[in-house]
Amino acid sequence: MMLLQYFIQRRFIIMRMLFVSFLILMSKEPDSLYYARLRKALVDKLREEGITSERVLNAMLKVERHKFVPKELQRFAYQDRPLPIGYGQTISQPYVVALMTQLLDLKGDERVLEIGTGSGYQAAILSLLCKEVYTIEILKPLADSARERLKRLGYKNVYVKHGDGFYGWKEHSPYDAIIVTCAAPRVPEPLIEQLKMGGRLVIPEGDEFQVLNLYIKTEKGLIKHSVIPVRFVPMRGKIRE
């Protein structure tokens, strides 16, 4: 009788432990839902700050920014600020990513050139808004890791090249839009040549003081629109000679 009572009590304790473990497991929000909730809050904030393109906001909602930053920084991925990605480079502030993308005014069938791949986050955003993205990174480790990451995450219309963005990517020109994600003292001439007539080019210009500029290519030359002061890492390579 005592032995039977022992087994009944033992079984009750085990069942209770399993039930408690189940409750703990259910109370922990899966990472995918947790990050989705943070991403939604970020997009709501971007909307409040003046990002009006629903296509851009939807792309920002879909692309998982935490997968484009070092693991130890993932908890900060949906804060509206730049984060280091190694080699002295950063992933841009989400507001600036959204603003630059919005300035390109993409409709869906464009070919876009990006200068400064970084971790591939901006290219991933662009890939959801246009037909093809060609992106150039001057630092080979970043180019290689971005290529692998974009492929692994399923971004099939993004093509990554290791090289100096000053020269653009002539083989696939002309481009409907060009976006430069590093600060240059001027617009590199090859990029102007590779931009379609009527095309848009967004670039941060300056050294200590930088301004985000939008250029539109016309028969009479480039029309310049200055947007906001910004702070980007400097463009490297030929542009500095």
DSSP letter (8 states) at residue 234: B
Domain ranges of the chain: 31-240
Q: Concatenated DSSP letters for 170-184?
A: GGG--EEEEEE-SBB
Q: pLDDT per residue over 73-122, tens digit each?
A: 999 999 999 999 999 999 999 999 999 999 999 999 999 999 999 999 99
Return the closest-CA partner of residue 215 out of 189, 236, 235.
189
Active-site residue, 226 included: no
**Residue ranges of the alpha helices (H) in the chain?**
2-27, 31-48, 54-62, 94-104, 121-127, 140-152, 189-194
Return the closest-CA partner of residue 125 out of 39, 65, 82.
65
Q: pLDDT per residue over 26-85, tens digit each?
A: 444 567 889 999 999 999 999 999 999 999 999 999 999 999 999 999 999 999 999 999
Show the tokens assigned to 2.
């005592």
198 vs 121: CA distance, rounded Å: 26
Residue 16 scores a pLDDT above 60: no
Q: Is the peptide bond before 174 cis (omega within 30 degrees of 0)?
A: yes
**Which one of 53, 92, 119, 145 is the catalytic residue?**
92
- Cα dihedral across residues 39, 120, 167, 197: positive or negative: negative
pLDDT band at 148 (very low <50, low <70, confident <90, very high): very high
130 vs 157: CA distance, rounded Å: 9
Q: pLDDT per residue over 196-226, tens digit each?
A: 999 999 999 999 899 999 999 999 999 999 9
Return the closest-CA partner of residue 78 out of 118, 45, 100, 103.
45
Average pLDDT of every residue of the chain: 91
Q: How many CB atoms sit inside 10 A of residue 144's CB? A: 13
The angle at the Cα of 73, spanning 69 to 76, to the nearest 5 degrees, equals 100
Fold of 31-240: Rossmann fold (3.40.50)
Angle between helices 31-48 and 54-62 (to 10 degrees): 160
pTM, entire model: 0.87
